[in-house]
C-alpha cells in the first residue's frame, strides 16, 4: 500500500519536475537583450574561441555543431566543423547547420552579418566579458541556456573563489609597476579596462599605462623608459624565453632588466576570457612574487 | 559682282598670351578663294585659324561667318559650315580608320541619331579619294604620319562643310601626296567652297592659293591677291631671310639665298 | 564591323546568365541543380530556400550590378581622360568614400550609416576634384587627372591615419571594406537602379561619345558642346563609382580591366562597349565573388583579393598583346 503511494508521489514529483524543465528559459545577454528559449539549446554555434571554450567548461561542448577558426581549446574543439572566422562569417554554413542558438562576440563579430542572421530568425546571444565578474556571469547564462546550471555554478564558483583567494593572499604584498606587452612591432600594450589589467590588480601589479585612452594603445619606447617599470610581462606560445624578452635585455638602464624581472605568460591563458583566466592570473601572480624577491635581492 | 563672303574679319586682333596686340586684320574670304596664311614659326598662324573657327576668343573684333558673328552660331550649325584640320592629330584610342572618318558626320546627325547608310557611303568615298580604301579596318594608332594626315583630310571631306581651315595640311606628306592634298583643296575651292591654309612652303602656296595673308614677326600684316603679295622684299621681311626670285614657265619661285 | 560587334554582344548575354547561375548554385553549402529547381518551383527544402533566395540571390544580384557599374565607370573615365589606363578610382572617389566609411566604422555607427557616409564621402570627393580643377579657368583632362591624383593621395593619408589610431578590434572590418567585400552588401536595388538609369541615359549618347574620343578640340570643331558632355560623363561616372563603393567597398581591377579587354574585342564604339561592359563586368564580379565564397570555404575571402589575383596577370597578358 505504502509502495503504491510512494510511486504516486514519485510520479507526481517527476511530473512537476518535467513541467519545470518544459518551462521557458529567459536569459539576458551582454547587450542587455533578453534571449528566450522554449527548451535548452541543443544545436549551438559559437562565433568566438572563448565562447567555445566556456561551453566546454560547463560541460555543454557536445552541443556545438559549428564554430570559428582558432577555436583550439580544449582539444575536442578542433573537431567541431568551422563556419568561417570571427570577423568573416560563413552565413551559408551557419544556416546549413540549423542551429537553435548562436553565441556571438559583440565587439569581434561583424555587426551586419549578425544582423542578417537575426533577420533570418536565428537566436543570438551576445557575449562581451571585460572582467572576471563578466566571465562568471557568462558561465551562469550559458548554464541556463543549456540547462547545465550545476556545472556552470561550479565553474563560476571556481573562478570567483580562485580570484578571491589570490586577492586575499596578495593584499599585503607591495605593489609593483608593471608593463604588459601584447605586441612587439609596433610596441603595443593594454589600458586599465582590459582584463589583463584586472589580473595585474589581483596580484598587486599596477599597469603603468592604465590611464591610456585606447584599449590597446601603441606606445613608444621612450615613454616606457621614462616610466621605468619594475616588471615587464608579455605573451608567449608556451616557451619561457621568447624573442621579445631577449630584445629587452639590451636596455640595461631599466630596473626590470637589472633585476631580471622579464617574464613570459602563455598568451591563451590571459587573452581569452575563460576559466583559464584563473590559471593566467595565477601565473602572473607567481611572476610578480618572483619579481618582488629579485627586487629586494638587488636592493641588498 | 562678288558673292556674299563666307568669312569676314573686321578689325580682328588675335589673342596671343603675353604678346602685345598685332595690327587689326580686315579682309573677306569669298567662295572660290583659297587663302594661304604665311609667316614664320610662332607668329600666330594656328591661333588665327582657331580664332576664325570660333574655338578661341579674339582680343578684339569678331569673325563673321556668313554675315553672323561666329559666337552666335550654334556649334553644330557652325560645324556644318566650317571644318578644321588641326596641326596635330590626337588618337589615344585604337579606332579604325573608317570609324574615325565616320565621326566627322557628327554635325549632320542629331545627338541620338545613328549613322545612315549614306553616311557610311560618304565616308568610304572620302577614304577612296585619299587613296586610303585599303586601310579601312586598320587601327589609327598603327598608321604612319602621312597616312594619318590623309585620314584627317578624308575626315574633312566627310564633314561636307564649304569652308575649310587647314593648319599645315602638307605636314608628314611625301611630295606626291602633298600635291594631291593641295589639288583636293583646289578642287574643293573651284566647286564653290573656300579655304584658308596655314603653310610653310611659299612656293606651294603660290601654286595653289588665290590670295595670301602675310603675318609679320612684328605683329603687322598684309593681305591681298596672290600676285600683289608675292613681292621679294615683303617675303624677305616675312621670313627674315634673303631670297632669290625666279620666274619659270609663268610661275614665281622663291628660294633661300645663302 | 558593327554587325560583328552586335553578334559578339549577344554572346555576352548567355555568359551573364551562366555567371548568375553559377553564383546561385555554388556556395559553401552544396545545393544540387535538382534541389535548386525545387526551390524555384516553390517546393524546396526551407533551408535551401533561405540559402538560395535570402542569402545567395541578393548577393549575386548585388555583385552583378556592382561589377557592371564599375566596368562602365572605368570605360567612361578612360574616355574622359583620353587614357586607356584610367580606372574609376583614379580621381580619388574611392578614397573619399573609404574615408567616410572608415569614419563611420570608427564611431561605431550601424551599417546604414557606414553606407551613407561612404556615399557622402564619394560625393564630397567628386565636388572637390571638379571644383579644384576648375579653379584656374577651363579644365582639361590633364588638370583633372592631376587634381584627382593629388586628392586621392590626400584621402590615402587620412585612411592611413585612421588605420593607425583605430582600436585593433576595428581593423579587420576596416581592412575588408578597403579591399572590397560583398559580404556586407545591403541589398541590390540601388546598384541595379543606378546601372539601368545610366545605361538608359548613355545608350542614345553613344555616337556622340565616340566623337569625343578624337580629342576635345576636334570634337568641338565638329560641333560638340565639349564641356557639357565631359561634365555629364564625369558626373555619371562619379555617381556609379559612389554607388558601387558604397555597396561593396573599393573592389579593384574590374573598372580597369574589363573596358580594356573588351576594347580588344569590340573596338572603341561606345554603343557596343558600354552595354558589353555592363554584362562582362557583372559576370566577372559574380564569378569572382563565388570564388571568394568557396575557394577556402568555410574561410571567407574578400572579393577584392580575387579580382586582384585575377586582374594582375590578366592585365599583363593584355599589355603583351597590345605590343604586337
Answer whether residue A297 shows pLDDT above 90. Answer: no
A chain contacts of residue C299, beta-carbon cutoff 8 Å: 69, 82, 84-85, 88, 90
Spatial distance between the Cα atoms of C219 and C208, rounded to a whole number of angstroms: 9
What is the mean pLDDT of the segment spanning B73-86?
A: 95
Nearest CA in chain C to B165: C221
Instruction: Tell me whether C263 touches chain B (CB under 8 Å).
Output: yes
Cell of B117: 547608310
Whole-number mean pLDDT of chain B? 92
Spatial distance between the Cα atoms of C184 and C181, rounded to a whole number of angstroms: 7
Which chains sit next to A, with 3 or more Cβ pairs under 8 A? C
Cell of B70: 561666329
C127: phi > 0 → left, psi -120 to 50 → alpha, else beta; which? alpha
Cell of A115: 544582423
- Choose among B141, C299, B149: nearest CA to A69: C299
C chain contacts of residue B103, beta-carbon cutoff 8 Å: 210-211, 214, 222
Contact C184 A112 (CB under 8 A): yes
- Supply the pLDDT for residue B45: 94
pLDDT in tens, B148-206: 999 999 999 999 999 999 999 998 899 999 999 999 999 999 999 999 999 989 999 99
Contact B90 C82 (CB under 8 A): yes
Q: How many helices (H) and strands (E) does chain B have?
A: 9, 12
Instruction: Tell me whether A108 touches chain C (CB under 8 Å).
Output: yes
Q: What is the ipTM of this complex?
A: 0.90
Instruction: Tell me whether A220 touches chain C (CB under 8 Å).
Output: no
Residue A65 is classified by DSSP as: E
- Peptide bond before residue A177 is cis, with ω within 30 degrees of 0: no
- How close C7 gets to chain A, by Cα (Å)? 38
- Peptide bond before residue A186 is cis, with ω within 30 degrees of 0: yes
- Cα C29 to chain centroid, rounded: 28
Instruction: Tell me whether B113 touches chain C (CB under 8 Å).
Output: yes
C chain contacts of residue A91, beta-carbon cutoff 8 Å: 55, 183
The count of residues in chain C is 324
At what angle are helices C303-323 and C270-294 packed, to 10 degrees? Answer: 130
pLDDT in tens, A231-282: 999 998 877 788 888 889 988 889 999 999 999 999 989 999 999 999 999 9
pLDDT in tens, A156-189: 999 999 999 999 999 999 999 999 999 888 888 9
What is the mean pLDDT of the segment spanning A40-55?
A: 96
Cell of B80: 556644318
Q: Do chains A and B touch (3 or more CB pairs under 8 A)?
A: no
Contact B99 C269 (CB under 8 A): yes
* Residues sharing a CB contact under 8 Å with residue C125, sequence separation 6 or more, in sequence order: C91, C92, C93, C95, C96, C97, C151, C155
- Supply the pLDDT for residue A260: 92
- Supply the pLDDT for residue C2: 59
Spatial distance between the Cα atoms of C238 and C219, rounded to a whole number of angstroms: 23
Q: Where are the domains of chain B?
A: 7-89+161-256
pLDDT in tens, A91-130: 999 999 999 999 999 988 988 899 899 999 999 999 999 9
Q: How many CB atoms lie within 10 A of CB C6?
A: 12
Q: Determine the CATH number of domain B7-89+161-256.
A: 3.40.50.300
Q: Report whether C184 contacts C111 (CB < 8 A).
A: yes
Instruction: Tell me whether B186 touches chain C (CB under 8 Å).
Output: no
Answer whether residue B245 shows pLDDT above 80. Answer: yes
Under the banding of pLDDT at 50, 70 and 90, the label for residue B1 is very low
- Supply the pLDDT for residue C1: 45
HSE on the CB side for A142, CA within 13 Å? Answer: 37
Q: Report whether A73 contacts A53 (CB < 8 A).
A: yes
Q: For B25-85, give the DSSP string.
A: EEEEE-TT-EEEEE--TTSSHHHHHHHHTTSS--SBS-EEETTEEGGGS-HHHHHHHEEEE
Find the chain C residues whose C-beta atoms sit closer than 8 A to any C-beta of A.
27-29, 47, 50-51, 54-56, 110-111, 164-165, 167-169, 172-173, 176, 183-184, 186, 293, 297-302
Task: Choose among C1, C218, C224: nearest Cβ to B86.
Answer: C218
Q: Which residues, numbered 74 to 93 in chain C, qualify as contacts with chain B under a Cβ-Cβ cut-off of 8 Å?
A: 82-84
Contact C51 A96 (CB under 8 A): yes
A27 versus B91: the higher-pLDDT residue is A27
- How close C208 gets to chain A, by Cα (Å)? 43
Contact A93 C299 (CB under 8 A): no
- Cα C87 to chain centroid, rounded: 9
Cell of A110: 561583424
- Supply the pLDDT for residue B33: 95
pLDDT in tens, A72-101: 999 999 999 999 999 889 999 999 999 999
Cell of A95: 544556416
Answer whether residue B237 shows pLDDT above 80. Answer: yes
Whole-number mean pLDDT of chain A? 90
- The Cα angle at residue B22 between residues B83 and B225, in degrees rounded to 5: 60
Residues of chain C falling short of pLDDT 70: 1-3, 136-139, 322-324
Kindly report each contact of residues A293-298 with a partner whose C-beta sits within 8 Å and lies 24 or more positions away, as own/partner: A294/A259, A294/A260, A294/A261, A295/A176, A295/A230, A295/A255, A295/A259, A295/A261, A297/A259, A298/A258, A298/A259
Which chains sit next to C, with 3 or more Cβ pairs under 8 A? A, B
B chain contacts of residue C217, beta-carbon cutoff 8 Å: 50, 55, 86, 90
C chain contacts of residue B79, beta-carbon cutoff 8 Å: 221-223
Task: Choose among B50, B78, B91: nearest Cβ to C223.
Answer: B78
Spatial distance between the Cα atoms of B167 and B179, rounded to a whole number of angstroms: 16
Under the banding of pLDDT at 50, 70 and 90, the label for residue A138 is very high
The count of residues in chain A is 300
- Supply the pLDDT for residue C166: 82
Note the pTM of the prediction, 2 decimals. 0.83
C chain contacts of residue B55, beta-carbon cutoff 8 Å: 217, 220-221
Amino acid at each position: 500500500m505504502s509502495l503504491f503511494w510512494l510511486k504516486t508521489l514519485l510520479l507526481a514529483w517527476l511530473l512537476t519536475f518535467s513541467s519545470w524543465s518544459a518551462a521557458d528559459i529567459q536569459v539576458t545577454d551582454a547587450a542587455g537583450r533578453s534571449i528566450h528559449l522554449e527548451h535548452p539549446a541543443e544545436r549551438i554555434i559559437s562565433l568566438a574561441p572563448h565562447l567555445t571554450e566556456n561551453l566546454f567548461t560547463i560541460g555543454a561542448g557536445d552541443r556545438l555543431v559549428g564554430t570559428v577558426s582558432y577555436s583550439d581549446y580544449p582539444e575536442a574543439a578542433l573537431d567541431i566543423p568551422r563556419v568561417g572566422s570571427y570577423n568573416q562569417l560563413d552565413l551559408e554554413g551557419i544556416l546549413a547547420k540549423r542551429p537553435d542558438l548562436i553565441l556571438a562576440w559583440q565587439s569581434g563579430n561583424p555587426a551586419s552579418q549578425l544582423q542578417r542572421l537575426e533577420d533570418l530568425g536565428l537566436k543570438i546571444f551576445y557575449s562581451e566579458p571585460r572582467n572576471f565578474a563578466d566571465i562568471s556571469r557568462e558561465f551562469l547564462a550559458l548554464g541556463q541556456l543549456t540547462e547545465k546550471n550545476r556545472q556552470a555554478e561550479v565553474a563560476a564558483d571556481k573562478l570567483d573563489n580562485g580570484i578571491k583567494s589570490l586577492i586575499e593572499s596578495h593584499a599585503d604584498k607591495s605593489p609593483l609597476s608593471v608593463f604588459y606587452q601584447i605586441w612587439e612591432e609596433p610596441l603595443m600594450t593594454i589600458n586599465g579596462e582590459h582584463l589583463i589589467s584586472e589580473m595585474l590588480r589581483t596580484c598587486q601589479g599596477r599597469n603603468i599605462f592604465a590611464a591610456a585612452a585606447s584599449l590597446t594603445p601603441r606606445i613608444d619606447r621612450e615613454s616606457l623608459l621614462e616610466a621605468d617599470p619594475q616588471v615587464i610581462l608579455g605573451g608567449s606560445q608556451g616557451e619561457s624565453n621568447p624573442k621579445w624578452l631577449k630584445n629587452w635585455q639590451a636596455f640595461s638602464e631599466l630596473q626590470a632588466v637589472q633585476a631580471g624581472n622579464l617574464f613570459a605568460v602563455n598568451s591563451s591563458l590571459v587573452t581569452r576570457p575563460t576559466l583559464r583566466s584563473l590559471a593566467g592570473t595565477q601565473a602572473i601572480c607567481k611572476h610578480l612574487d618572483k619579481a618582488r624577491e629579485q627586487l629586494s635581492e638587488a636592493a641588498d | 559682282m562678288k558673292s556674299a563672303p563666307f568669312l569676314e574679319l573686321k578689325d580682328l586682333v588675335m589673342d596671343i598670351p603675353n604678346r602685345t596686340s598685332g595690327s587689326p586684320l580686315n579682309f573677306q574670304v569669298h567662295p572660290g578663294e583659297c587663302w594661304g596664311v604665311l609667316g614664320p614659326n610662332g607668329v600666330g598662324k594656328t591661333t588665327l585659324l582657331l580664332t576664325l573657327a570660333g574655338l578661341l576668343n579674339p582680343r578684339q573684333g569678331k569673325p563673321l561667318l556668313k554675315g553672323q558673328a561666329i559666337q552666335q552660331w550654334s556649334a553644330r550649325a557652325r560645324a556644318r559650315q566650317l571644318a578644321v584640320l588641326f596641326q596635330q592629330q590626337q588618337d589615344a584610342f585604337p579606332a579604325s580608320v573608317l570609324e574615325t572618318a565616320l565621326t566627322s558626320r557628327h554635325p549632320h546627325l542629331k545627338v541620338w541619331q545613328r549613322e545612315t547608310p549614306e553616311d557610311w557611303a560618304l565616308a568610304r568615298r572620302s577614304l577612296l579619294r585619299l587613296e586610303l580604301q585599303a586601310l579601312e579596318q586598320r587601327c589609327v594608332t598603327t598608321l604612319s604620319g602621312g597616312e594619318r594626315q590623309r585620314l584627317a583630310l578624308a575626315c574633312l571631306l566627310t564633314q561636307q562643310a564649304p569652308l575649310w581651315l587647314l593648319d599645315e595640311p602638307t605636314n608628314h606628306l611625301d611630295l606626291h601626296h602633298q600635291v594631291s592634298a593641295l589639288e583636293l583643296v583646289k578642287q574643293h575651292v573651284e566647286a564653290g567652297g573656300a579655304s584658308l591654309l596655314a603653310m610653310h612652303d611659299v612656293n606651294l602656296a603660290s601654286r595653289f592659293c588665290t590670295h595670301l595673308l602675310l603675318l609679320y614677326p612684328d605683329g603687322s600684316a598684309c593681305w591681298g591677291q596672290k600676285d600683289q603679295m608675292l613681292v621679294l622684299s615683303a617675303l624677305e621681311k616675312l621670313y627674315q631671310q634673303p631670297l632669290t626670285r625666279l620666274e619659270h614657265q609663268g610661275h614665281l619661285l622663291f628660294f633661300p639665298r645663302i | 564591323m558593327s554587325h560583328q560587334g552586335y553578334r559578339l554582344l549577344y554572346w555576352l548575354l548567355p555568359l551573364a546568365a551562366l555567371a548568375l547561375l553559377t553564383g546561385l548554385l555554388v556556395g559553401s553549402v552544396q545545393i544540387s541543380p535538382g534541389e535548386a529547381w525545387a526551390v524555384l518551383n516553390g517546393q524546396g527544402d526551407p533551408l535551401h530556400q533561405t540559402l538560395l533566395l535570402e542569402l545567395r540571390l541578393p548577393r549575386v544580384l548585388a555583385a552583378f550590378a556592382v561589377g557592371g557599374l564599375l566596368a562602365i565607370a572605368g570605360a567612361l573615365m578612360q574616355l574622359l581622360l583620353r587614357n586607356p589606363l584610367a580606372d574609376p578610382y583614379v580621381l580619388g572617389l574611392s578614397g573619399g568614400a573609404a574615408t567616410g566609411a572608415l569614419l563611420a566604422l570608427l564611431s561605431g555607427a550601424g551599417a546604414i550609416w557606414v553606407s551613407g557616409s561612404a556615399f557622402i564621402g564619394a560625393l564630397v570627393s567628386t565636388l572637390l576634384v571638379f571644383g579644384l580643377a576648375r579653379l584656374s579657368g577651363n579644365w582639361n583632362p590633364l588638370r583633372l587627372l592631376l587634381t584627382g591624383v593629388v586628392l586621392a593621395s590626400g584621402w590615402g593619408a587620412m585612411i592611413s591615419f585612421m588605420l593607425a589610431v583605430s582600436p585593433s578590434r576595428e581593423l579587420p572590418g576596416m581592412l575588408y571594406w578597403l579591399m572590397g567585400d560583398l559580404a556586407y552588401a545591403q541589398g541590390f536595388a540601388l546598384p541595379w537602379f543606378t546601372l539601368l538609369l545610366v545605361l538608359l541615359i548613355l545608350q542614345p549618347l553613344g555616337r556622340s561619345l565616340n566623337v569625343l574620343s578624337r580629342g576635345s578640340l576636334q570634337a568641338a570643331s565638329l560641333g560638340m558642346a565639349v564641356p557639357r558632355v565631359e561634365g555629364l560623363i564625369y558626373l555619371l561616372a562619379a555617381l556609379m563609382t559612389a554607388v558601387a563603393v558604397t555597396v561593396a567597398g573599393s573592389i579593384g581591377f574590374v573598372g580597369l580591366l574589363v573596358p580594356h579587354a573588351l576594347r580588344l574585342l569590340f573596338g572603341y564604339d561606345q554603343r557596343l562597349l558600354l552595354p558589353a561592359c555592363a554584362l562582362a563586368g557583372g559576370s566577372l564580379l559574380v564569378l569572382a565573388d563565388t570564388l571568394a565564397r568557396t575557394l577556402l570555404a568555410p574561410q571567407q575571402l574578400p572579393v577584392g583579393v580575387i579580382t586582384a589575383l585575377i586582374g594582375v596577370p590578366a592585365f599583363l597578358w593584355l599589355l603583351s598583346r597590345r605590343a604586337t
